[in-house]
Amino acid sequence: MLYSGCVASLRPTGRPAPARAARLRRRTIAFDKRAAKSFIRINDRIRAREIRVIDENGEQLGILQPFEALKIARERGLDLVEVSPTAVPPVCRIQDYGRFLYEKDKSERAARKRQKVIVVKEVKFSVTVDEHDYQTKKNQAVRFLSEGDKVKASLRFRGRQMAHRELGYKIINRFIQDVGDAGIVEFMPRMEGTILHAIMAPGRKEQPKAKPAAAAPAPA
């Protein structure tokens, strides 16, 4: 017990306490994992011989060796982040890496929200479809197209109906004509097994025509 106590007392001053060291180690590991996931080099992972350095205020610090730039970053309590690895020399910025990732994630989420996800919605017909059912499904397709989605019109032949494929083509071709300018045919009607189908994309929206300027009144 006396020996272990002496060893503990010989610990050099200035070394982080075990709890603080563990927190620093977890923080470093977390940063390393996030950096690896984002394919971003930071701090000691920057391997270029020389880098162009920009500080946290956007000021150019010139071309430095990585260890010099990292020393400046650590003196300011910040990180050295490689922001343009393909430049010659690579461009690095002194900044808070956690905030950098937060802003990057925020901008990516905003871009995903603005991005329109195109969905292919299907309307199914049969050779024996009645007029009311046909009109209902055609109207559904027009609505889907107006909302920016693609439409797949499909018709399944059953049993002896395969001998009368022309009836199926007649229905699908009528559907394409009835949809009109609301859609553009992306894939013309074609057979796959016992199913005849065609795919339509949203039609181009016409730009509103500018109103002609009013004529100036004739002088009296």
DSSP H helices, the chain, are 2-9, 18-38, 66-75, 97-114, 131-146, 165-179
Q: What is the mean pLDDT of residues 73-101?
A: 92
What CATH fold (topology level) applies to the domain 21-112? Ubiquitin-like (UB roll) (3.10.20)
pLDDT band at 3 (very low <50, low <70, confident <90, very high): very low
Q: What is the mean pLDDT of residues 156-171?
A: 92
CA separation for the pair 53, 78 (Å, rounded)? 13
Domains of the chain by residue range: 21-112, 120-202
CATH architecture for segment(s) 120-202: 2-Layer Sandwich (3.30)
Query: Is residue 193 within 8 Å of 156, Cβ to Cβ?
Result: no
What is the Rg, in whole angstroms, of the alpha carbon atoms belonging to the chain?
34
CB atoms within 10 A of CB 136: 13
- The pLDDT score that the predictor gives to residue 129 is 92
pLDDT band at 71 (very low <50, low <70, confident <90, very high): very high
Q: Which two tokens stand for residue 111?
A: 């871009």
Mean pLDDT estimate for the chain: 81
pLDDT at 13 over 70: no
Please indicate whether the domains covering 21-112 and 120-202 agree at the CATH topology level.
Answer: no
Indicate the range of 14-18, 136-140, 171-175, 176-180 predicted with least confidence.
14-18
- The pLDDT score that the predictor gives to residue 112 is 79
| Residue 155: exposure state from Cβ atoms within 10 A (0-12, 13-18, ≥19) | buried
| 82-94 pLDDT per residue, tens | 999 989 999 999 9
pLDDT band at 21 (very low <50, low <70, confident <90, very high): low
